[in-house]
Structure 1
Amino acid sequence: MNNLRKGFPVLKRYTYLNTAASGFLPEKVFEFRQDHDLDFLISASILKEWQGELLTEVRETVGRFFNCAAHRVALVPNFSYGFNTLLEGFEKPKKALLLKGDYPSINWPVKSRNFDISYAAIDEHLEDNIRQALTENRPDFFAFSIVQYINGVKLSIDFLKELKKEFPDILFVADGTQYLGTEVFDFDSSGIDVVISSTYKWLNAGYGNGFILFNENVEGKIEPKHLGFGSLQGKYKAHEGNFLGKFEPGHQDTLNYGSLAVALKLLDKTGMDKIETQIHKLKEYARQKFAEMDLLEKYVLDRKEHSSIFNLKGEEELFHYLRSRDIITSQRGEGIRVSFHYFNTIEEINELTEAIKHKI
């Protein structure tokens, strides 16, 4: 277990249970960033002559990691930029399905445009709610988080595969920011048409980089409007009007996208199967402990599958008490959100629960 914690200096300072708010910078990524900017300092444009090769490597690394062909991987600075670009590509008006209370960066951009919107409630009947809403409203697209940011409620990939078979003509657009990096994910077999993700959380790649994974059937259904000189630059963007190029109209930041490639290689070296196993062990142990202490909503306990994000009953006073003990969490919704990544431990969960018992 100690081997999984190597290369993360922040773990020596804090009991860090806050990856759902922000991951941190691994030493390997930090070293890449230092070397990159030193090269830029002393060579300027000469470094940038290699940006095409570097960005191609990043795109192909993302594609291999999530099983998506490189020509269907767009590099974008964050989820919100990618999602808004995607939405501008829809011929409006269109019918959309959202989850009520989903992440604002999903729901707000859809609401700000001329879409006919329906909602499915996030409760103990979430999957049934979604299926019923799709049946009754027949939206053109369904935009959703795979994992909910407030309380960690998770839609299983198996459920999404089944749903896509039932509704093959509806475009499924998923935010993977709170999901990717927590378990093995095979995009091409997932049934999802588009996955967009920032990478500063569970992928520990820092800020300013993200990506979009596209299914083959998306091109032709969406017509993005962004264009620039960057739309033609690179191995997979050979001509004006290229679908991929419309998501990358400007100069791309080799520092930030290079950081993404290093972070993914680190996860690959650690082993996503090992990471998935460790996270599963932690979340099941934590859920049992939290249930014993009556810290969770009942419907969260009743769900068959859940992520490693939990929203615990607790007031602001408890949040500040935990911070005073160097236990890092977030205030979200009406409670205190904790989240466990592969470098966390059973001992840290026990430390958290003991601190809560002491305060309440």
Structure 2
Amino acid sequence: MKNFRNQFPVTSQYIYLNTAATGLLSEDVFDYRQDQNLDFLTQASMFRDHKANLLAEVREALASFYHADANKIALTPSFSYGFNILLDGLAKNTKVLLLEGDYPSINLPVEARDFDIVYAAINENLEENIKKAVEKYQPEIFVFSVVQYVSGIKIDLDFLKELKENYPELLIVGDGTQYCGTETFNFKESGIDILGASAYKWLNAGFGNAFFLFKDHAAEKIYPKTIGFGSNIGKYKQTENALIGKFEPGHLDTSNIGSIKQAILLQEKIGVELIEEQVKKLSVKAKKAFEKLNLLAPDVVNRKTHSSLFNIKGSDELFIFLTNKGVICSQRGGGIRVSFHYYNTEDEIEKLITLIKNFSK
């Protein structure tokens, strides 16, 4: 795993614990983007002709990677872009279940529309809270982040399968931006009906790209009005009024969208199972270390499993101290958010703990 740190030059300069904010750009993806720009510079319209199959190739790479259907994968510049199209395809007064304090790019667009909105609390009893809210309010749609951006609390994917079995008409829509790229995931076998994600974080695909995976029945509940010349052009979009075409009304940046495939190829080269193993190992080690120093909220401590994203107790002064020591992290939710990906090491966790202890002396 250490050999692949060479793909990410930033790791040689800093202790980079900020993938939850921005994932590192690999040399493979950087080289791909550079080559794309050079080809465009020297080929102009011929470049576009040569890239006619690119979107299909990216869909196929995602379909293989996440066990989804290529003809039900939409490509967008960001999660928010696609999510707003999705919401505009829902009927007014649709009853939507949200999580209190979920990522603003989820809750704000829902709250800005004429939906009937209900909420469940995010805490150590997350799944039970959701179950009770569904039983009480009978929502038509449940929208949530797979991993919470402030606390790092990760929803139980087995719970979602059970929820879907018990409420088959409930449309379950997940934001995987803080999740996709951290472990193996089988979309077809999951309880999620629609999964969207920006790919610049844990997939390390750079900015300007995202994707949405759909199951068959999702098209029966969403009717986006968005349409353009690009909506019915290209492989997998030739059926008139195809759902994924509604998410792609115009041109997409081939360099940005193509980076998704390059990022997937790198993860496959490393081994997704190895990435998952490393991320989980770092998560367990960090959680134990933070618990000993009483740096975690009870909601996180009392969860059986957790993501590799943590919000630790810490003042502005501690944040500045860590930053000055070369630790790249973020301030979120009144604390300091640190996140560990496969290019991080156990030694970096130990260095972070030592710095925190030294600051406290």
Classify the secondary structure of the residue corresponding to 2:220: coil
Deviation at 1:240, TM superposition (A): 3.4
Residue aligning to 1:51: 51
Alignment of 1:188-207 (within 5 A): 188-207=188-207
Letter in 1 for 2:358: H
Runs (4+) of structure 1 exceeding 4 A deviation are none
Residue aligning to 1:328: 328
Letter in 1 for 2:308: S
Residue aligning to 2:130: 130
Residue aligning to 2:308: 308
Letter in 1 for 2:343: F
Segments of 5+ residues of structure 1 without an aligned counterpart are none
Residue aligning to 2:283: 283
The 8 Å contact of residues 296 and 313 in structure 1, kept in 2 or not, is answered as yes
The 8 Å contact of residues 147 and 307 in structure 2, kept in 1 or not, is answered as yes
Alignment of 1:165-184 (within 5 A): 165-184=165-184
Letter in 1 for 2:216: E
CA deviation string 1:63-117 (max 9, x = no partner): 1110101001000111101110000000111100000000000000000000011
Alignment of 1:256-275 (within 5 A): 256-275=256-275
CA deviation string 1:183-230 (max 9, x = no partner): 101000011000010000000000100000001111121101100000
Deviation at 1:318, TM superposition (A): 0.5
Q: Cα RMSD between the aligned structures?
A: 0.8
The 8 Å contact of residues 67 and 186 in structure 1, kept in 2 or not, is answered as yes
The 8 Å contact of residues 4 and 342 in structure 1, kept in 2 or not, is answered as no
Looking at structure 2, the residues matched to 356 and 5 of structure 1 have their Cα atoms a distance apart, in angstroms, of 25
Looking at structure 1, the residues matched to 281 and 149 of structure 2 have their Cα atoms a distance apart, in angstroms, of 20
Looking at structure 2, the residues matched to 237 and 220 of structure 1 have their Cα atoms a distance apart, in angstroms, of 17
Alignment of 1:245-264 (within 5 A): 245-264=245-264
Deviation at 1:237, TM superposition (A): 0.9
Deviation at 1:51, TM superposition (A): 2.6
Residue identity over aligned pairs, in percent, reads: 54
Looking at structure 1, the residues matched to 97 and 299 of structure 2 have their Cα atoms a distance apart, in angstroms, of 22
The 8 Å contact of residues 52 and 233 in structure 1, kept in 2 or not, is answered as no
Residue aligning to 1:227: 227
Residue aligning to 1:144: 144
Greater Cα shift, 308-317 or 237-246: 237-246
The 8 Å contact of residues 127 and 156 in structure 2, kept in 1 or not, is answered as no
Classify the secondary structure of the residue corresponding to 1:203: coil
Deviation at 1:288, TM superposition (A): 0.4
Classify the secondary structure of the residue corresponding to 1:49: helix
Looking at structure 1, the residues matched to 188 and 113 of structure 2 have their Cα atoms a distance apart, in angstroms, of 29
Residue aligning to 1:33: 33
Q: How many residues align?
A: 360
Looking at structure 1, the residues matched to 236 and 174 of structure 2 have their Cα atoms a distance apart, in angstroms, of 23
Segments of 5+ residues of structure 2 without an aligned counterpart are none
The 8 Å contact of residues 194 and 213 in structure 2, kept in 1 or not, is answered as yes
Residue aligning to 2:244: 244
TM-score, normalising length from structure 1?
0.99
Letter in 1 for 2:345: T
Residue aligning to 1:120: 120
